[in-house]
């Protein structure tokens, strides 16, 4: 007799409700091991969720993301983000466009820029390497932006949290000639906030979190196959 799908579903439900008496007996150790394996899955998912919250919280505080990348025959420094805090102590008509051992300058014209100098005004390298070579940019675009060890710059009238973005291009050179170490990353910090940098590749927002998720899910998959 051919069983209808409805009958098959009913039979499956009945089998499920017959309970442990219809299943092969297992030792208490085996049952405990099974429960432990399945409990690991929600733990891993929770860990990934907490990592995501921490990552988003760090981004919410505001930072300047800087990438130093080789693009054909040129080196390009891109930046985007915002200063966490801004304490304007004066204005300055600097027009430097360069990178050197203490920071980056994209101040392309002689108009006034807001400056924060003195205590808390500069940024200090905390981790990673940075160039010790002065190299002038051949072209720039974007918002006024600069930092060094004792002074920070922003566009005139800048307020903390306002977005900043731009780039500097250095023609016919390479990362090593400019004094950078390909693959390096790190950050500067000071009163205005944090500058996070990477050398040799364009940073993708959330890439670190995506990698963590991939590793975590792969680990869960391996446990379930065992």
Per-residue tens of pLDDT for the chain, all 226 residues: 444 444 444 444 444 444 444 444 455 554 544 454 444 444 443 433 433 434 343 443 569 999 999 999 999 999 999 999 999 999 887 789 999 988 999 998 878 899 999 888 999 999 999 999 999 999 999 999 999 999 999 999 999 999 999 999 999 999 999 999 999 999 999 999 999 999 995 444 444 434 333 334 444 344 444 4
Domain assignment present for residue 18? The answer is: no
Domain assignment present for residue 11? The answer is: no
Give me the domain span that covers residue 138: 62-205
Structure tokens that stand for 135 in this block? 């190299």
Domain assignment present for residue 36? The answer is: no
Distances (CA, A) of 141 to 78, 82, 137: 10, 17, 11
Domain assignment present for residue 31? The answer is: no
Domain assignment present for residue 129? The answer is: yes
Q: Name beta bridge partners: 198.
A: 67, 185
- Count structural domains, the chain: 1
Domain assignment present for residue 122? The answer is: yes
Q: What is the pLDDT of residue 212?
A: 35
Distances (CA, A) of 35 to 29, 30, 42: 10, 9, 12
Domain assignment present for residue 46? The answer is: no
Domain assignment present for residue 28? The answer is: no
- State the DSSP code for 46: H
Cα–Cα distance between 78 and 158 in angstroms, integer? Answer: 20
């Amino acid at each position: 007799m051919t069983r209808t799908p409805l009958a098959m579903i009913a039979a499956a439900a009945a089998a499920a409700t017959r309970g442990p008496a219809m299943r092969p007996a297992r030792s208490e150790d085996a049952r405990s091991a099974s429960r432990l394996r399945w409990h690991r899955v929600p733990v891993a998912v929770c860990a990934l969720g907490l990592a995501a919250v921490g990552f988003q919280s760090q981004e919410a505080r505001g930072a300047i993301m800087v990438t130093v990348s080789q693009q054909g025959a040129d080196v390009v420094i891109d930046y985007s983000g915002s200063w966490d805090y801004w304490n304007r102590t004066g204005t300055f008509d600097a027009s430097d466009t360069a990178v050197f051992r203490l920071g980056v300058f994209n101040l392309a014209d002689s108009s006034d820029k807001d400056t924060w100098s003195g205590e808390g005004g500069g940024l200090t390298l905390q981790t990673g390497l940075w160039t010790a070579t002065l190299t002038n940019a051949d072209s720039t675009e974007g918002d006024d932006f600069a930092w060094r060890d004792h002074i920070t710059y922003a566009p005139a009238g800048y307020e903390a949290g306002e977005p900043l973005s731009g780039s500097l291009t250095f023609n016919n050179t390479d990362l090593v000639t400019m004094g950078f170490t390909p693959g390096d990353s790190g950050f500067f910090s000071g009163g205005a906030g944090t500058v996070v940098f990477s050398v040799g590749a364009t940073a993708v927002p959330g890439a670190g979190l995506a990698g963590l998720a991939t590793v975590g899910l792969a680990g869960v998959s391996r446990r379930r196959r065992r």
